[in-house]
Structure 1
């Protein structure tokens, strides 16, 4: 898991059923990135805060990786939320799987480089905190906290 980050697995108090597909939310990594950009644009309009461009790119990459993992390994994206909290953005992605994310070795059994397996380490490296919550209706929610400035 994220050895250098605090990793919690909690039981969500959320009692709302997880829909089969997001009804009005993003359904792909590209749509998730657009949602994050829109949230950050609102932050720029509503304050004098100038976020670090690299930090914004980090938030977009984390959102994209979490979404891709939910689609490829978690049985599909069931919910996405982006929340701005001070100088941080909380990115929450829910999927149908209860299985925790795994770090996969970069090489296979024969010593050849493995394709893929980089998403979770990227999330762990760029997020200040990662929390995995079990959903009462099944599946899990992963919330990553990404700082928006280097200061």
Structure 2
């Protein structure tokens, strides 16, 4: 998926709606919000409904990496949204930076320990679709769609 994400023009996306509560801002808070949304969606499907544990782990990892990237490279999380569907989960994280995410290329051969720079490639690997939208007031929203079934 990496390198195949879609970008929108600067003025095509409205700014994230302001809410009365600040919403989740840290990776731990985002993971908890995702767990709650997935549990609620599963309960609404009725008794016996299940969600693949590996897929849930993938969703939590993508949510955590999007949030971490916003904190480290985007000036912090300005908005977060999770929309569970029957077959996929749509995660959106907004931040203050207009910079596009880029994979980090590092020197060193196979077996060389590299600390950091793995978040974006992980997101690209696990998401079936990624969309980056610039916000009118500045910053961007990255939306990743993660499948709820094993690949």
TM bracket, shorter-chain basis: 0.7 to 0.9
Residues in 2 aligned to 1:71 and 1:132: alpha-carbon distance in whole angstroms: 17
Task: Give the Å deviation of 1:107.
Answer: 3.2
Specify every segment of 5 or more residues in structure 2 that has no aligned partner in the other structure, as ranges. Answer: none
Provide, for residues 90-138 of structure 1, a one-character-per-residue CA deviation record: whole Å limited to 9, x for no partner.
Answer: 0000000000001002437xxx643200000000000000000000110
How is 1:58-97 mapped onto 2 (pairs within 5 angstroms)? 58-97=58-97
Residues in 2 aligned to 1:92 and 1:102: alpha-carbon distance in whole angstroms: 18
Aligned to 1:102: 102
Residues in 2 aligned to 1:97 and 1:58: alpha-carbon distance in whole angstroms: 25
Deviates more, 1:78-87 or 1:64-73: 78-87
Contact 1:22 1:78 (C-alpha < 8 Å) held by counterparts:
no
Deviates more, 1:117-126 or 1:44-53: 44-53
From 35, 40, 43, the equivalent of 1:42 is 40
Residues in 2 aligned to 1:44 and 1:58: alpha-carbon distance in whole angstroms: 17
Contact 1:107 1:114 (C-alpha < 8 Å) held by counterparts:
no
Q: In angstroms, what is the RMSD of aligned CA positions?
A: 2.3
- TM-score normalised to the size of structure 1? 0.86
Aligned to 2:150: 150
SS of corresponding position for 1:26? coil
Q: Does 1:32 align with 2:9?
A: no
SS of corresponding position for 1:141? strand
Contact 1:17 1:137 (C-alpha < 8 Å) held by counterparts:
no
Q: Give the aligned length.
A: 145
Task: Give the Å deviation of 1:142.
Answer: 0.2
SS of corresponding position for 1:144? strand
- TM-score normalised to the size of structure 2? 0.86
Task: Give the Å deviation of 1:51.
Answer: 1.4
Aligned to 2:14: 15
